[in-house]
Structure 1
Amino acid sequence: MGPALISLPVKPLKKKFLDIRFLKSEFLRKIREQLDVAAKGTYILNRDFDTMSRLVSRLQDEIEHNNAMIKFCLDRREDKLSFQVLKELKKGGFGFMKQVEELEEHVYLCLVTINRARALVIKEISTFA
């Protein structure tokens, strides 16, 4: 059996081995690229959701503050200070609406980013298959 093994041509076997190794490395390169794209998309979406969370938290704080001020005014019905507080709340309504519009815009942009990420994933899957 030993002489038979020695007589086998080494070059074709070596070439096949290198081809298999090249195919594996090419496959792994494509997988790595896909993971990089997925990681970037995940990072961006995570940041977007974090920003939205902060915007919602700011709105919630503003609503709680307004509720406390209204309760204060209701407790002190005829006080001069109550009327001033109500005037300030009316002025602050513009800032509140601006915060709501900012949140609405960010939600829209986040949905656009999600759609873009979905398109990239579909593109990567279709090129891989």
Structure 2
Amino acid sequence: MGPALLTLPPVKPLKKKVLDMGFLKYGFLSKIGSQLDAAAKGTYILNRDFDTMSRLVGRLQDEIDHNKEMIQFCLDRREDRISFRVLKEMKKCEVGFMKQVEELEEHVYLCLVTINRARALLMKEISSLV
């Protein structure tokens, strides 16, 4: 509706004044738009990274809770044969647990790199405006 109104004959002097304004002439709004786009992209990526980290931490927490329950089970039973089996099983699962911890550590590192990259990109966009 706005562009249609600017084509009407009585509005032509107003159209000329609006188009002569500095923020339209120098692309001020397009620069602000590009800053917002950069911020939105960075926010989306960081949101996805935090979601992934949340899932990784949840998996580790489940594994820790499971190990606690197995240890409590061994303490309640007090049978050496069952306790020995449970400990052997926990020893097997230790490699998988350590892989999960390393995966989380790597993702935290990559997320910090992404944060720094997004911050640098945003600062570059802001400084280009000035």
Give the shorter-chain TM-score range.
0.7 to 0.9
Query: Greater CA radius of gyration, 1 or 2?
Result: 1
Is 2:41 the partner of 1:40? yes
Structure 1 17/64 Cα, relative in aligned 2: closer, same or farther at 3 Å? closer
Q: Which runs of 5+ in 2 are unaligned?
A: 1-14
Query: After superposition, where does 1:41-80 map in structure 2 within 5 Å?
Result: 41-80=42-81
Q: Partner residue of 2:30?
A: 29
TM-score, reference length from structure 1: 0.82
Q: Which runs of 5+ in 1 are unaligned?
A: 1-13
8 Å Cα contact 2:23-2:29 kept in structure 1: no
More displaced stretch, 29-38 vs 43-52 = 29-38
Give 1:18 deviation, angstroms.
3.1
Identity of aligned residues (%): 78
Q: Partner residue of 1:120?
A: 121
Q: What amino acid does structure 1 have at the position aligned with 2:109?
A: Y
Partner of 2:21: helix, strand, or coil? helix
> Number of residues paired by the alignment?
117
8 Å Cα contact 2:57-2:104 kept in structure 1: yes
Query: What CA RMSD, in Å, does the superposition of the two structures yield over aligned residues?
Result: 2.1
Distance 1:126 1:21 in 2: 19
**Can you list the C-alpha shifts for 1:29-54, whole angstroms capped at 9, x where unaligned?**
11111111100100000000000000
TM-score, reference length from structure 2: 0.82
Distance 1:110 1:17 in 2: 44
Distance 1:20 1:82 in 2: 80
Distance 1:22 1:113 in 2: 32
